Structure 1
């Protein structure tokens, strides 16, 4: 396996940052994106097609919006499946449905290609610094061979099980992320409207039972007007919650808590915040609560 070159398909917000980390680690990245300028922007060597990426590398990474796009890139005309060769490894860093992941893994296995699903967590900030958490599904020996790929982009890599286990774990994590963000946004708007000092409110929450990722890492910035732009958008957060509910339906597990984040991020999209960072859900809630903003600037 050539440990100095990989292929990367999907050089957007997360894929681009991971690409830059790999390039900085002296790994040549052959990049393809629908934006023809993306590869150069992140330091990758531009290639003209998916087929060219697959031809250039033994390891191909994907960072794409959802399962439909992943299926089109892998299984569609001119896609990965049509161009792959035995012995290659395809690593899907997208947020995707585990059932789709397993179908793709089966199709690639017939060609002698290994498919690894690697859900990522940590957002744009962790991608920027190479401190992502990866939750990985696939064959253990194949995952072990990817240590040189994961090292520049992740601080923690956890093997979760067979094909689909990584993406399943990702959906479970993202749902809790959606719940905590939406609920904390609502609480912070209420705190502002009640006249509380929001820094002191966060101090209490972070030392009490209401503490969560949003209170610790998001709202200390948001209350001062920094929304941490560049991360997961509101529309993508809604997509992740939908994937979570689909997963629970497949598993036969009752879901009683999805309505809150679905309503919150749906509202954000309806009010024009769908294409910006999902943290802006707090502004959507503020809009329908009397035009409340957490900050004065």
Structure 2
């Protein structure tokens, strides 16, 4: 099925370039577009074709995927594509966006006879690069089954979350959890440094304990090496945790930690710049204490050492949930 489809991909940033790279690497007939023409040319040199515009891509492709930095950017692109949406066309939104907005845009696509899928990813740029990232997909079940072969080329684990809007809701939740975990790790490591503990030993103690997490096993390494570049900037963090806070407010949940997480990230932006790398948030505590959290032997960039394997649908255990 994937060999027969013409697929368009709009947005070749940190994540988009890696996801579209997986499609190209696996033989998909790929057309690409980005406001940065140099990024487009990199893909053309690898065998993709240049899309020219969002409207042209929807006209010429069976499926168009968007992976853009903000909900407003997605709205502009979808508005441009809408006149070219006809029966059988599919729009796949891989950006992290607002669930109310993705519902609105999906409804516009569906009204013209097309199909819409929201399919944000989770797991870090290093896993997006190898096709081992996780993907949430919100859409009708027949649409999900139709595009599952494409999703399994870009991701290892694919979860059908339900109707449009559910995937975006779950995605911003996971990004909130990752951000909150990053902040607690920063507090833990600076406190251990102040208490005289060895940082490499501290890393291993967390890793083998009940306190470990995906965030620790990835981002803590970049903090300790001093690289502090996880390919995710504070403006993107703030967008995602802000979306999570909005969901809570819509549903009248009086969160206590979330506003403080937002405040800390905003403070980090004021200190280090709006687009500073998110791992630099530890420097607030380093500056306050005079302790620098570093250790030898940790990598300056994350590399996914899992071999690339075919993706699969994650099946929900309904019996266990009862």
Residue matched to 1:109? 110
Residue matched to 1:95? 96
Q: Which moved more, 1:230-239 or 1:150-159?
A: 230-239
Residue matched to 1:247? 247
Q: Which moved more, 1:45-54 or 1:90-99?
A: 45-54
Residue matched to 1:68? 72
Once residues 80 and 178 of structure 1 are traced to their aligned partners in structure 2, the CA distance between those partners, rounded to angstroms, is: 34
Q: Is the 8 A contact 1:25 1:152 kept in 2?
A: yes
| Residues matched between the structures, number | 292
Q: Give the Å deviation of 1:5.
A: 2.4
Tell whether 2:242 aligns with 1:257: no
Once residues 24 and 4 of structure 1 are traced to their aligned partners in structure 2, the CA distance between those partners, rounded to angstroms, is: 15
Once residues 260 and 119 of structure 1 are traced to their aligned partners in structure 2, the CA distance between those partners, rounded to angstroms, is: 25
Q: Give the Å deviation of 1:195.
A: 2.1
TM-score by length of 2: 0.85
Q: Give the Å deviation of 1:130.
A: 0.5
Once residues 286 and 73 of structure 2 are traced to their aligned partners in structure 1, the CA distance between those partners, rounded to angstroms, is: 34
Q: Give the Å deviation of 1:264.
A: 2.3
Q: Give the Å deviation of 1:118.
A: 0.7
- Of structures 1 and 2, the one scoring higher in RCO (CA 8 A, sep 6+) is 2
Tell whether 2:194 aligns with 1:190: no
Q: Is the 8 A contact 2:230 2:279 kept in 1?
A: no
Once residues 4 and 105 of structure 1 are traced to their aligned partners in structure 2, the CA distance between those partners, rounded to angstroms, is: 21
- Paired residue secondary structure (1:171): helix
Structure 1: 5+ residue runs without aligned partners?
none
Residue matched to 1:55? 59
Q: Give the Å deviation of 1:296.
A: 6.7
Q: Give the Å deviation of 1:220.
A: 3.0
Residue matched to 2:153? 152
Query: Residues 224-276 of structure 1: CA distance to partner in whole angstroms, max 9, x if unpaired?
Result: 2243x352211100111100000111122221211332122112211124323
CA RMSD across the alignment: 1.8
**Using a 3 Å threshold, how does the CA distance of structure 1 residues 230 and 20 change in structure 2: closer, same or farther?**
farther
Residue matched to 1:121? 122
Once residues 252 and 295 of structure 2 are traced to their aligned partners in structure 1, the CA distance between those partners, rounded to angstroms, is: 46
Structure 2: 5+ residue runs without aligned partners?
297-322
